[in-house]
Amino acid sequence: MLSDEQFTSYANRYMDTVYRTAYHCLASRTDAEDVTQEVFLKLLGERKPFESDDHVRNWLIRVAVNACRNVIRSRWWNHVSIEVCPEPAASERTGGILESVLALPAKYRVPIYLFYYEGYSTQEIAAILKIPKNTVCTRLKRAREMLKTMIEEESGYV
Amino acid sequence: MFEQEYRQAVSRLTLPEEKAEKIRNLTLTKRQSGISKLRVVPLAAAALLLTACAAVLFDPAAMLEPIFGVNGRGSYEPDTVARMYEPGGGRTELDEELAKRYIEPCVQRLEGTVTDGNTTLTALSMIVDRFSCTAAVYLKLENPPAYAVYNSGWILFQEYENGWYIHPKAIGQSGMIGRCFIDEKSTTDQILYCTLMFSLEPQSQSLELRLGDRTEAIVIPLPEKTDMPAILLEEGDITLTPFGMRVKTSVLRQGDDDSGRETPTPLAKRELAIRFEDGTEYLILHLNYGDEDYKGCTYAMALNPDLESYVIVFNRVVDVDKVSAFRINDRIYPVT
């Protein structure tokens, strides 16, 4: 089990990573905040030793994605899967390129975040999300196409 | 170009400082609230004795408190790690007379146990309301492996990497979601009592309860019929019982200007209420484009497949013999 000092150190380093992952998944700041807290509660109770800082970061992201799936499943008004997570509400809109990313279906948002912001390879994303590498590649490709279309439409090219 | 702009936008996305501070301080509360393993063995013996007593003194009303009564109330308390769960909607005193008349005869006694290490899950009793497609099962969990967090209706134990759940699964159903309410009256540090509510599809035949990823499950056959009075309106598109209700999405959506949407949520502004013969009204649910107020119910869920119905468990026992009408906004559906 982590010492208090280790926990605080990991919290300081990775809480924004977890929050950003959850926000990309849920498109809701409030839900992302709750998930972030839930994830660090799990970290606090985790008994298996971590091999490295990267191991902790990967673990936190994976747990965050799982926690987000549970949040989506338990939203009482719908039985949506993570594949059809709703678009962000008007109050959540951030403007610019981030809003375009958040307008994508959730299954595209998280790979985009992990690839372009966190710098994970497609192989690593596949391991974190527990999906085949080819699926990650396909989702990234499809996401880029959709973003391109969205950005072109916003610019009035279409 | 995209990458640079995106990275800049994401870097501005940070956890609010208030939340960040709470996370940094989690160590202060968690160390105090974790269950001491030294206390497990003697308390496990006590738990066995309690189980034996419970087997003799079956109380069908026990499971109703977390559904209808004030003892199921919870509050979201992030600083109290050992007890954290969502509010259970508005709470009212359990009307024992109505409960005895309408609900208790439908409470079915169960016997089933599944274990994971020192932890034991026992199913004690169940209500199945086939009219409203809702059900509830009353559970006892002895010696949880760690402190528990109740979030979004799931009981989650912070022991394993992917969480550790009491995981319900109704056979024949693709996406049943349980919502759990803690029986505050009976729960102790080592023995947790709760009522897990869930929705049923008409073809659901049994319920499986597992602990986390364990393959062993308590399998509970679901009765095909419910011995409970029901009011059917609009040729069954609206069904009310003392326990809950089911309403077709098409009925809920009448009057929407966005009825062509593929996904019927978030629903436009809707107010659902039951009117009684004495002129009083019970406001069940208020939907407002995703800004829901569901203090009048303890469980609400859209049913699969195709989200064709909404099911709701009331937060009180409804005296169906005195219902005069059901109301959705200004539309009145009289009980004739």
d(CA B322, CA A10): 59
HSE-up (13 A, CA, CB side) for residue A99: 11
d(CA B323, CA B317): 12
Spell out the residues 6+ positions from residue B126 whose beta carbon is closer than 8 angstroms to its own. Answer: B107, B108, B110, B135, B136, B137, B138, B207, B220
Min CA distance, B239 vs chain A (Å)? 18
d(CA B259, CA B31): 52
Inter-chain residue contact A76 with B13, CB threshold 8 Å: no
Q: Is B152 on the interface with A (CB under 8 A)?
A: yes
Phi and psi torsions of A12, nearest 5°? -65, -40
d(CA A70, CA A74): 6
Inter-chain residue contact B15 with A16, CB threshold 8 Å: yes
Residue in A with minimal Cα distance to B80: A41
Chain A residues with beta carbon closer than 8 angstroms to that of B304:
79
The torsion angle over the Cα atoms of residues B74, B76, B79 and B81, rounded to 10 degrees, is 60
d(CA B133, CA B248): 12
Q: What's residue B80's pLDDT?
A: 31
Min CA distance, A113 vs chain B (Å)? 9
Query: What ipTM score was computed for the predicted complex, to two decimals?
Result: 0.83
Is there a contact between B158 and A45 (Cβ–Cβ < 8 Å)?
yes
Q: Is the peptide bond before A132 cis (omega within 30 degrees of 0)?
A: no
- Percent of chain A predicted with pLDDT > 90: 27
d(CA B267, CA A76): 12
Bridge partners for B139 per DSSP = B123, B194
Is there a contact between B114 and B213 (Cβ–Cβ < 8 Å)?
no
Interval A85-90 mean pLDDT: 45
The better pLDDT of the pair A88, A118 is held by A118
Q: What's residue B257's pLDDT?
A: 56
Per-residue DSSP letter, A87 = P
Min CA distance, A5 vs chain B (Å)? 9
Does the CA dihedral B272-B275-B280-B282 come out positive or negative? negative
Residues (pLDDT < 70) of chain B are 27-57, 71-90, 144-180, 210-215, 255-268, 287-295, 301-307
pLDDT band at A111 (very low <50, low <70, confident <90, very high): very high
Please tell me chain B's helix, strand, coil percentages from 3-state DSSP, rounded to the nearest 5: 25, 35, 45
CA distances to A107, B259, B302 from B263, in Å = 17, 9, 11
Q: What's residue B166's pLDDT?
A: 53
Closest by Cα among B292, B290, B258 to B272: B292
Q: What's residue B306's pLDDT?
A: 52
pLDDT tens digits along A2-32: 788 888 899 999 999 999 999 998 888 888 9
Using CB atoms, pick whichever of B9, B162, B292 lies closest to residue A96.
Answer: B9
